[in-house]
Amino acid sequence: MSTGSYHFETLNDAAFQAERLRQQAQAVRGMEAGILRSAGIQSGHDVLELGCGPGFVSDLLAELAPEGSLYAVEPSPTLLARVEGNVRKKPARGLFPIQAYGDHLPVPDSSIDFSYARFVLQHIPQPETVVSEIHRVMRTGGHFCAVDSDDGLVVLYPEDSRVSQILHTAQTTQTEKGGDRFIGRKLQHMMTRAGFINVKSRILALTSSELPFDALFNILLGYKASMLGDAVDIKQLFDDLSQKVVGGRQLIAGGVFIVTGEKA
């Protein structure tokens, strides 16, 4: 299977991107713990994380399911190699880093209580196949939570043509590579089709008044900017927007879809 639109080994700014993922996880850790608890994660659960990257969120999952186990699935060997070191406290029944793509999980049927996919499905060419595969490995009554972006939720006032350019280029580039920057709105339908029940979508909106500007900027534009090369002076853009936000002259808002479903 192709890696779709996120292939860590070929990113031209891999170190920056790893740091971006760390900051992104750190900035919202408390909020994310609440989301995961209300999605159903429990202390003794066998948990599967799809596309765990370097493992910053794996650390949070291990903290929330300390009596269970964690299957951390990631196709990139470079990123997977970091998971062990980034999960500070291993769950009682073990941490299992697994190199695999989401459409062929080397995990038995009905063996997982809670699955999480965070900013992963937007990069995968056939996300519905992966959602079905997750459904296969879940136990009856288990919950799957997917968190993903949708560029329809990005709002700036006043608008900035550089941001529009970044968004437009990112959408085109990601589509060419098989990804989808508008996947958020499609997840509910996808999960229902895969057989999940009680599928619910929620939008978490974040504004420049709520999050530190650098964290919001990274979440909204960090990965997209890496696809642009030199077309936009990203540092200049960061400085301009940052000054305006601090001065109260700029509103930036973004949102993520949080979609949960249960295996019947």
Ligand X SMILES: C[S@@+](CC[C@H](N)C(=O)[O-])C[C@H]1O[C@@H](n2cnc3c(N)ncnc32)[C@H](O)[C@@H]1O
> 214: closest CA among 235, 231, 229?
235
What is the C-alpha to C-alpha distance for residues 171 and 64, in angstroms, rounded to an integer? Answer: 34
Considering the complex, state which of residue 1 and residue 33 has its C-beta at the smaller distance from ligand X. Answer: 1
Name which position in 51, 179, 184, 254 contacts ligand X (CB under 6 A). 51
112: CB partners within 8 A, 6+ apart: 46, 47, 48, 71, 137, 138, 139, 142
What is the C-alpha to C-alpha distance for residues 230 and 107, in angstroms, rounded to an integer? Answer: 42
Count of helix runs (H) and strand runs (E) in the chain? 10, 8
State phi, psi for 139 to the nearest 5 degrees.
Answer: -80, 155
Binding mask 188-227 for ligand X (x = CB under 6 A): ----------------------------------------
Q: Is 261 in the site for ligand X (CB under 6 A)?
A: no
Q: Is 53 in the site for ligand X (CB under 6 A)?
A: yes
Contact 263, 196 (CB under 8 A): yes
**For residue 15, how many other CB atoms are within 10 A of its CB?**
8
How far is CA 12 from each of CA 15, 99, 168, rounded to the nearest angstrom? Answer: 9, 22, 20
Binding mask 87-126 for ligand X (x = CB under 6 A): --------------xx---------------xxx--xx--
Considering the complex, state which of residue 56 and residue 71 has its C-beta at the smaller distance from ligand X. Answer: 56
Q: Is 56 in the site for ligand X (CB under 6 A)?
A: yes
Q: Is 28 in the site for ligand X (CB under 6 A)?
A: no
Considering the complex, state which of residue 8 and residue 71 has its C-beta at the smaller distance from ligand X. Answer: 8
Chain positions 71 to 90 lying near ligand X, rule: CB under 6 A, are 74-76, 79
Q: Is 259 in the site for ligand X (CB under 6 A)?
A: no
Total residues at interface with ligand X (CB under 6 A): 24
In the complex, the residues that contact ligand X under the rule CB under 6 A are 1, 3-4, 6, 8, 21, 25, 50-53, 56-57, 74-76, 79, 101-102, 118-120, 123-124
